[in-house]
Amino acid sequence: GENVEQHPSTLSVQEGDSAVIKCTYSDSASNYFPWYKQELGKRPQLIIDIRSNVGEKKDQRIAVTLNKTAKHFSLHITETQPEDSAVYFCAASRPGFQKLVFGTGTRLLVSP
């Protein structure tokens, strides 16, 4: 089955710096890759997603890139702010496979 690995497990940056979180997946048939942000004690919230027919997608300060050949995708956050501090999860899903497989999460800490 699908396996998603995520790195780093923790990431500390200064406010205003960029943050990059990387994920790799094992199932070449996977075609949907969402990213979720989870604050302490809260629900995971979808922040951006990308499908395999697209190489990059951007939404204000966040962007996701996908390399299908290498089977990896990354989340990029620019101009980080303290409120970006949270745990971020990547996930992958294949067509007709009614479940998301999640990475183990990255704890991002943005210091003022």
Partner 1 sequence: NAGVMQNPRHLVRRRGQEARLRCSPMKGHSHVYWYRQLPEEGLKFMVYLQKENIIDESGMPKERFSAEFPKEGPSILRIQQVVRGDSAAYFCASSPRMFGTGSESANEKLFFGSGTQLSVL
Shortest distance, CB of residue 98 to partner 1, whole angstroms? Answer: 5
Residues that bind partner 1 (CB under 8 A): 6, 31-32, 34, 36, 41-46, 49, 51, 89, 93-105
Shortest distance, CB of residue 15 to partner 1, whole angstroms? Answer: 25
For partner 1, which is the closer residue by CB, 23 or 77? 23
Shortest distance, CB of residue 43 to partner 1, whole angstroms? Answer: 5
For partner 1, which is the closer residue by CB, 16 or 55? 55
For partner 1, which is the closer residue by CB, 25 or 89? 89
| DSSP collapsed to 3 states, the chain | CCCEEEECCEEEEECCCCEEEEEEECCCCCCEEEEEEECCCCCCEEEEEEECCCCEEEECCEEEEEECCCCEEEEEECCCCHHHCEEEEEEEECCCCCCCEECCCEEEEEEC
